Amino acid sequence: MKKFYLMLLLVVGMVVLAACSSGDEEASGGSGSEGSSDLDTITAWAWDPAFNIAALEKAKEAYDGDGEYEVNVIENAQDDIIQKLNTGLSSGTTNGMPNIVLIEDYRAQSFLQAYPDAFHPLTDVISSDDFADYKIATTSYDGEQYGLPFDSGVAALYVRTDYLEEAGYTVEDVTNITWQEYIEIGKDVKEATGKNMLTLDPNDLAQVRMMIQTNGSWYVDEDGSTPNLAGNETLEKAFETYKEMMDADIAKIVSDWSQFVGAFNSGDVASVPTGNWITPSVKQAADQSGNWAVVPMPRLDMDGAVNASNLGGSSWYVLNVDGKEQAADFLLNTFGSNPDLYQTLVKDIGALGTYSPAAEGDAYAVEDEFFGGQQLITDLSTWTDEIPGVNYGLHTYAIEDILVTGMQDYLNGAELTTVLENVQGQAEAQLK
């Protein structure tokens, strides 16, 4: 009888032990790949929490479509986004890719051309006519509209009215002028006030880019890949103008953003020709309120050039992965068709969109006391519509790196045609 109990105890004990130890075998497995195949959630990548991330959050609030899905906004540094897209798309895997991604306009074509099937066309989703023409040029490829234009990079000339006054000029005198006229005014301003007219960064040819776009030209041909440098009259004109500015000694040389911002905030320069996104930085110097005005960008002294250009700007793209319909639906019902959202963006974030119907809203008509009561947003969006559309192509930054050195040579006395031929040769060799 005792033996029996002992056996019973052993058996029961073993059963208990076995039951306990068999519990922990789940947990592993699962968790692998979900990402974009999950249709309940779509992800969107952007880089600036104060700007485009904030805009996405506003868009989520403003969404008025029927879709039932969550939008997961993820912040990544711009360089990381480019790197991840490149590695992801070139390896052909859609794993870990977002549904919506924000791409800078200068880089957009390189993605659209390199990975034509990776993006979901929005041609039938959005109405291209509602957006600024120049944006459509940069966001479409091969007849298909891929990007939904986001912020405007419309360039403008921010001027110090007090300095101009000192030199005997009015705001009208700097409105719709050519760069040559600008240089002349600059000389007078420097004479009268001792202040430089503008800042120039030897490593950033933003001025050249803005100049050539006033005449509808770019570093590359219409095909987006052939370098268009040697024999590019617009580029030659821009280089000449640039040299004239240097020769006129009206430029303060800066090497980074802090010096650039510091120059106009401290009152060292009389004007800032750049993208409209500089507005908040200009307004940082509250003591200068009322001393600023914003006028259209100077144009190159050429036939066909207009007083409107662009610097920067970005657009939304939908990747061709599971959930693309939701992503397109989200974009259509927010940035693609909601004028009120653009009012919110202007008011709360200071982001100026390129959606034309939005220009009629109240927020656009607000008068800005800092700029002497100017209806800044209305003006900017008017100029946006006039920006000549160009194909930024694939190699904007790569060509500019070469051009920076060419500019050095040119400024140091080399012949312009030779310089541009050299640059053309280098670019062709490097980008082939």
Partner 1 sequence: MKMKKKAFLILRNNSLFIKMFLIMVISIVAVSLLITFSSIRMSSNLFMDTFSISNTKALEQIETQFEDYSYAIVGATHEVQNNGTVKRVLTQTNASTLETYRSYHDISQQIERIYRTVESYDANMIVLGNNERLYNVNYSNWPVSWEVLRNHPITEYTVNRPNTLLYQYLPSTSFTDEPMIVATKALMERSTGEIYGVLYFPIREAQLKQFYEGYTSAENEVLLVDATGKIVSSNKQELIGEEATDILAMAKEVDEEQLEFKDAHVFDTDYLLMSQYLPTYNMYLVNLVDKDAVLDNLINTKEILLISLGIVLLAVIVVFIISRRMTNSISRLVKQISTMAKHDFNMPVAETGGYEAKKIANAFNSMLSELQEYVDLVVLAQQKQRSAELMALQHQINPHFIYNTLASIKFMIQQGKKEKATDMIHALISLLQNALSNVEQTITVEQEITDLKNYVLINQSRYGDGIKVNFFISPDCLDCQLPKLILQPFIENAFFHAFNEKKEGFVQILVSQKGDNLLCEIVDTGDGMEMKGDHTKEDIKEKRHLFSGIGIRNVHERIQLLYGEQYGVEITSEIGKGTKVKVELPFQKTDIPANSNKITSI
- Provide, rounded to whole angstroms, the least separation between the CB of residue 367 and partner 1: 30
Contacts of 279 (CB under 8 A, 6+ apart): 350, 376
- Provide, rounded to whole angstroms, the least separation between the CB of residue 23 and partner 1: 8
408 binds partner 1 (CB under 8 A): yes
Q: Looking only at residues 191 through 230 of this chain, which bind partner 1 when binding is defined by CB under 8 A?
A: 200-203
Look at residues 265, 288, 258, 308 and name the one whose alpha carbon lies nearest to residue 370: 288
Contact 305, 386 (CB under 8 A): no
257 binds partner 1 (CB under 8 A): yes
- Element at 416 (helix H, strand E): helix 416-431
Look at residues 264, 266, 269, 273 and name the one whose alpha carbon lies nearest to residue 295: 273
114 binds partner 1 (CB under 8 A): no
Size of the site for partner 1 (CB under 8 A): 31
Q: Looking only at residues 276 through 335 of this chain, which bind partner 1 when binding is defined by CB under 8 A?
A: none
Q: Closer to partner 1 at the Cβ: 50 or 114?
A: 50
430 binds partner 1 (CB under 8 A): no
Q: Closer to partner 1 at the Cβ: 245 or 359?
A: 245
Q: Exactly one of 223, 253, 418, 428 binds partner 1 (CB under 8 A); which one?
A: 253
22 binds partner 1 (CB under 8 A): no
Q: Closer to partner 1 at the Cβ: 16 or 74?
A: 16
Contacts of 252 (CB under 8 A, 6+ apart): 196, 198, 199, 200, 263, 268, 269
Q: Exactly one of 172, 191, 233, 249 binds partner 1 (CB under 8 A); which one?
A: 249
The sheet carrying 314-318 orders its strands as 70-75, 41-46, 100-104, 314-318, 147-149
- Amino acid at the residue 206: A
Contact 99, 318 (CB under 8 A): yes
27 binds partner 1 (CB under 8 A): no
Look at residues 298, 105, 152, 312 and name the one whose alpha carbon lies nearest to residue 214: 298
Q: Exactly one of 39, 192, 411, 431 binds partner 1 (CB under 8 A); which one?
A: 411
Which residues of this protein are in contact with partner 1, per CB under 8 A? Answer: 2, 5, 8-9, 12-13, 16-17, 20, 23-24, 200-203, 246, 249, 251, 253-259, 262, 404-405, 408, 411-412
